[in-house]
Chain A
């Protein structure tokens, strides 16, 4: 039997105020994550992604539920778990006046590295994450992108078996975001580790994740592969037709397999469920018009997100 990265059953988390009122952050979360997977946690702000990652990484404890990380009990064996996991947080923060190298040395020491092993590991991470030009720069003088790379380098110091990435590209420029995603992919492939990633960038989840759980108001509302999620939600393909003349849009809407339609002057956007079969019938209804352009788009996770976040 293969070991699972995470086995969570009935995880609940609530925060109590000083006056005694409580807010539920996570409500009955149950999921299994296989070893070697890149698993995505998606959801709007405040959906509980960071809290769930913090619970999985043993940083905070749930009020209820059972949790096993890499086959170990998250409460009883937390010390052992912390040796083989690590995290890169959203908005990475480190002691300001320590340089890149000093920060990595400091955290390496906290993981029990010493002597030449410590120096070699620090140098390896500096090289792997292309931090050589910044090794002697203080954290407070680094750009957001370099801070993020430092955070990833720190997360790899102990060669974790399970890596948590909490919104790793938030606030980064598009090109740096893409570089960071490539880095994550490379780490996953080269180090053969499991990755749990939270994000609200759909292209990131689509590019990296084997499976995804959508969170909304502290609950999992959907969990599957990106492909299956799109399929099961019946989002269909989007066909955009630009035309001149008259088209019978009311008749299009009545065709079988039409999931939705938005019509403007000279342009109609149709969601269809049956691919080319429906498309032939749609085009027939444009016989009195001149079709200028047809654009067919596969649904993406953005559509899934919008659908599920409703």
Chain B
């Protein structure tokens, strides 16, 4: 098969997610309502507490990162969730595709939606709270977003693995995993304030390092971007291997059939 056919196997998931999102009125909540609630509540909190610029940037970088992460990770998880909800999972897994076609195709659409949310949040935070997110230039922004999207892919893959291992009820994982990330990866506070066991966990999460890197633009300090990027690459590769194994196991246990009934 030539590269165009191979490319279309990736684009198939993006195409499906795009049409389903376009026809779902509640997409507006995912793209506008919740991101705005998140940004406005944190921004107004910084006003109320009369925080200085460095604290404002600390919190708003966290709020923007978390929101983009949530939007993009759910798009990766949707690649299986939509099939599971419509009981059409058989049709997908009888096609000659690999797990990476599904994941990266869905991630492509997640990046598109995440980027729309990013532009909205950056614009709003500049005009309402005087916070210039782009002050460090384009390259740091691209690195920061790449880290968030890699993390989103890892969480989305983890949700897919849960569904294929534990069945339908595991979709609750889709809504919970980013909450765990919020708790331990230093979204709204430095990880130093966490109990030591949670600090260890935080150091195993790539997002911690991407936040540290991007905040260093506003609050100069050391960062460990290379370590964070290496961790993200490791989790992504490990996640894809685990997803392949979960698909194979679901074929052995017959859970693929049960998900279609």
Contacts and interface: CB of A to CB of B under 8 A. Distances in A.
A114 B19 contact: no
5 contacts: A15-B254, A61-B252, A80-B96, A93-B86, A105-B15
B5 to A, nearest CB: 3
Interface stretch (B6-14, B36-44, B185-193, B237-245): B6-14
B4 interface: yes
Nearest to B82: A95
A118 interface: yes
Contacts of A139: 86
Contacts of B11: 109
B49 interface: no
A112 B9 contact: yes
Interface band, chain A: 35 or more
A28 interface: no
B89 to A, nearest CB: 9
Given A95-B82, A95-B88, A97-B20, A51 B96 contact: no
A105 B14 CA distance: 12
A59 B87 contact: no
B176 interface: no
Contacts of B92: 110
Given A89-B91, A95-B19, 14 more contacts: A87-B90, A87-B91, A93-B88, A93-B91, A95-B83, A96-B86, A97-B19, A97-B20, A107-B12, A109-B11, A112-B5, A113-B5, A115-B4, A118-B8
B256 A111 contact: no
A27 interface: no
Contacts, number: 105
Contacts of A59: 90, 93-94, 251, 256-257
A50 interface: yes
Contact of B15 (A89, A94, A106, A113): A106
A199 B87 CA distance: 21
B257 A54 contact: yes
Nearest to B105: A109
Contact of B20 (A54, A95, A118): A95
Contacts of B6: 112
A159 interface: no
A83 to B, nearest CB: 5
A89 B33 CA distance: 39
A86 interface: yes
B96 A50 contact: no
B260 A93 contact: yes
Interface of B: 1, 4-9, 11-12, 15-16, 19-20, 23-24, 82-83, 86-88, 90-97, 101, 248, 251-254, 256-257, 260
A139 B88 CA distance: 12
Contacts of A54: 90, 254, 257
A34 interface: no
Contact of A61 (B5, B7, B93, B251): B251
Nearest 3 Cβ contacts at the A-B interface: A112-B5, A109-B12, A82-B96
A200 B97 CA distance: 32
A112 B8 contact: yes
Given A110-B9, A112-B96, A16 B253 contact: yes
A255 interface: no
Interface string A39-81: 0000000000011001001111100000000000000000110
Interface in A233-274: none
B3 to A, nearest CB: 10
Contacts of A176: none
